Amino acid sequence: MAYLFTSESVSEGHPDKIADQISDALIDNFLAWDEDARVAIETLVTTGQVVLAGEVKSKIYLDVQKITRSVIERIGYTKSEYMFEANSCGVLSAIHEQSADINQGVDRVTKQEQGAGDQGIMFGYANNETENLMPLALDLSHRLLYELAALRRENKEITYLRPDAKSQVTLEYSDDHKPTRIDTIVISTQHDDFASEKEMQEKIKADIIAILLPRVKAQLKPELHALFSDDIKFHINPTGKFVIGGPHGDAGLTGRKIIVDTYGGKGAHGGGAFSGKDPSKVDRSAAYATRHIAKNLVAAGIADELLVQISYAIGVKDPMGIYVNTYGTSKINLSDGEIAKKISEIFDMTPYGIETRLGLRNPIYSETAAYGHMGRTPKRVTKTFENSNGEVKTIEVDLFTWERLDYVDRIKEAFNI
Going from N- to C-terminal start, the domains of the chain cover: 3-9+136-244, 16-98, 120-128+255-415
Closest to 238 (Cα-Cα) out of 200, 211, 212: 200
pLDDT the model gives residue 86: 98
Does the active-site annotation cover 85? no
pLDDT the model gives residue 382: 98
Give backbone dihedrals phi and psi of 314, rounded to 5 degrees, phi first.
Answer: -60, 135
In this structure, what DSSP letter does residue 353 have? H
16 carries a ligand binding annotation: yes
98 carries a ligand binding annotation: yes
pLDDT the model gives residue 120: 95
| Interatomic CA distance for residues 225 and 390, integer angstroms | 51
| Interatomic CA distance for residues 86 and 75, integer angstroms | 9
8 A C-beta contact, residue 124 and residue 291: yes
Question: Is it true that 3-9+136-244 and 16-98 share their CATH fold?
Answer: yes
CATH of domain 120-128+255-415: 3.30.300.10
14 carries a ligand binding annotation: yes
Q: Which residues pair with 293 in a beta bridge?
A: none
Closest to 289 (Cα-Cα) out of 154, 126, 417, 66: 126
Does the active-site annotation cover 166? yes
Does the active-site annotation cover 251? yes
| Interatomic CA distance for residues 370 and 12, integer angstroms | 5
Identified catalytic residue from 5, 8, 12, 16: 16
CATH architecture classification, 16-98: 2-Layer Sandwich (3.30)
Identified catalytic residue from 8, 12, 14, 373: 14
215 carries a ligand binding annotation: no
Does the active-site annotation cover 347? no
Does the active-site annotation cover 318? no
Query: CB count, 10 Å around CB of 397?
Result: 19
pLDDT the model gives residue 117: 79
CATH class of 3-9+136-244: alpha beta
Give backbone dihedrals phi and psi of 126, rounded to 5 degrees, phi first.
Answer: -155, 150
pLDDT the model gives residue 113: 75
pLDDT < 70 stretches in the chain: 98-110
Does the active-site annotation cover 42? yes
Using alpha carbons only, give the angle 154, 196, 160 rounded to the nearest 5 degrees.
10
